[in-house]
Amino acid sequence: MAKNIVITGDTVTGKTMVAIALANKLRARGSTVGYFKPSGIKSFAHSTQEMDVDEDAAVMKDILGMEEQLNCICPIVRHMSSYDELLRISKDELKERIQSCHANISKNRDYVIIEGEQSPWRLMHVGLSTLDITKELGATVICLVNFPDFSAIDDILLQKELFKNYGTERIGVILNLVPPMLKKVVNESIRPFLEERGIIFCGVLYNNRELFSPTIGDIMRALDGEMVIGSEKLDLLIDQFIVGSMAPENALKWFRRSKDKAVITSGDRTDICLAALETDTNLIILTGGVGPEIGTLTRARELGVPIMMTALDTYGTSQVVDDLIGTITVDNKEKIAAVERIVGEALQLDELGL
């Protein structure tokens, strides 16, 4: 019978990275591994007329070479178009879908890695929260917690109590997006503090550019963009996105505060484009299908700064790129290899019995 491992946490980024690295470590030992995501969100890039698809499920199916259909790997795919889209389906039917698909994936496998919702309590209103799934499947829990500062300790203790109330006494914790400057404090103070309270410390993911920053190529694919210049720099990393909608006299002040950034603006905002080019900018994204004016193009060529065009408006562009932080695509084999290496080295799983 397969051993179930739930990866959960109140975080947008990191769970799929941990799933990739964990699967790689288990397979290196000779174990067979499957992936299961009880509920996800429709990806327009991967979905078809016949099937709604969650992006993480598509990535993991490819990495693990799973033969199961995507609508079994992630049986419930939400459109996020209505608050009651799951309420219209009976709880029994939803539960049956999950049980049936999980049974199929766990068959003849040693481990099933289960990716939880953005927060452990999401979908509690239909009995499909990660808390519910963990209890139903008797899974081992690895909780990923963003750690921007020490207030995250309270989040960890809260999640421990939540799982305890659902019958899970022991949880492992991975600290995510930890500033490197806190390395000594984490090892000497925070780890002992958590372990004294019965929490199993499973590792730290530091705020690493190679893991969390998208490349220009990732951005181009997500936006269905077109490179005007700089197509040879698709591997360049972008650490931050800034929407250039401010008055030109304020632009330089804001742009100077950020390095290795992408500036998002309309092609007719030459003033914003030129201000961005005078600071540490790795990419200019021009929205609304408006190309660069000659002054912008000339200066960008002189400085070697790539320019990308997209048909999306500025707001839509900013929404898409914000979702790229820490995400992984099937096409980006270098990123997958980096995740297996960096996250794999960070994972400490012996005390969980894995």
In this structure, are residues 97 and 129 in contact, taking their beta carbons and an 8 Å threshold?
A: no
User: What integer is the mean pLDDT of 283-299?
Assistant: 94
Complete DSSP assignment for 106-132: HTT-SEEEEE--SSTTTTGGGT-SHHH
Of residues 246 and 102, more confidently modeled: 102
Q: What percent of the chain has pLDDT over 90?
A: 65
Residue range 3-211+328-352, CATH number:
3.40.50.300
CA separation for the pair 169, 143 (Å, rounded): 13
Q: In the structure, what pLDDT confidence band is assigned to residue 170 with cuts at 50, 70 and 90?
A: confident
Out of 44-48, 284-288, 320-324, which region has the weakest mean confidence (pLDDT)?
44-48
Q: Given a cut of 80, is residue 327 above it in pLDDT? A: no
Helix (H) or strand (E) holding 141: strand 140-146
User: What integer is the mean pLDDT of 261-269?
Assistant: 92
Q: Which CATH class is domain 214-322?
A: alpha beta
Q: Given a cut of 90, is residue 41 above it in pLDDT? A: no
Q: In the structure, what pLDDT confidence band is assigned to residue 13 with cuts at 50, 70 and 90?
A: confident
Which pLDDT score, from 0 to 100, does residue 261 have? 94
Question: Which bin fits 92, alpha (ψ -120 to 50), beta or left (φ > 0)?
Answer: alpha
Which pLDDT score, from 0 to 100, does residue 138 have? 92
SS3 8: strand
Question: What pLDDT digit, counting tens, does each position of 91-129 carry?
Answer: 889 999 999 999 999 999 999 999 998 889 999 999 999
Q: What is the dihedral of CA 296, 299, 303, 309, to 10 degrees?
A: 20
How open is the CA angle 57-46-102, to the nearest 5 degrees? 25
How open is the CA angle 39-40-42, to the nearest 5 degrees? 135
Q: In the structure, what pLDDT confidence band is assigned to residue 46 with cuts at 50, 70 and 90?
A: low
Q: Given a cut of 70, is residue 28 above it in pLDDT? A: yes
**What's the pTM?**
0.83
Of residues 76 and 45, more confidently modeled: 76
Cβ-proximal residues to 84 (8 Å cutoff; 6+ apart), any chain? none
Question: Which bin fits 289, alpha (ψ -120 to 50), beta or left (φ > 0)?
Answer: left
Which pLDDT score, from 0 to 100, does residue 351 have? 85
Each domain of the chain, given as residue ranges in start order, spans: 3-211+328-352, 214-322
Q: In the structure, what pLDDT confidence band is assigned to residue 325 with cuts at 50, 70 and 90?
A: confident
CA separation for the pair 2, 222 (Å, rounded): 35
For 302, the token pair is 């002189």
Q: End-to-end alpha-carbon separation of the chain, Å?
A: 14
Which pLDDT score, from 0 to 100, does residue 53 have? 80
Query: Exposure pattern of 14-44 as b/e (b: 16+ CB <10 Å)?
Result: bbbbbbbbbbbbbeeeeeebbbbbbbbbbbe
CA separation for the pair 115, 142 (Å, rounded): 10
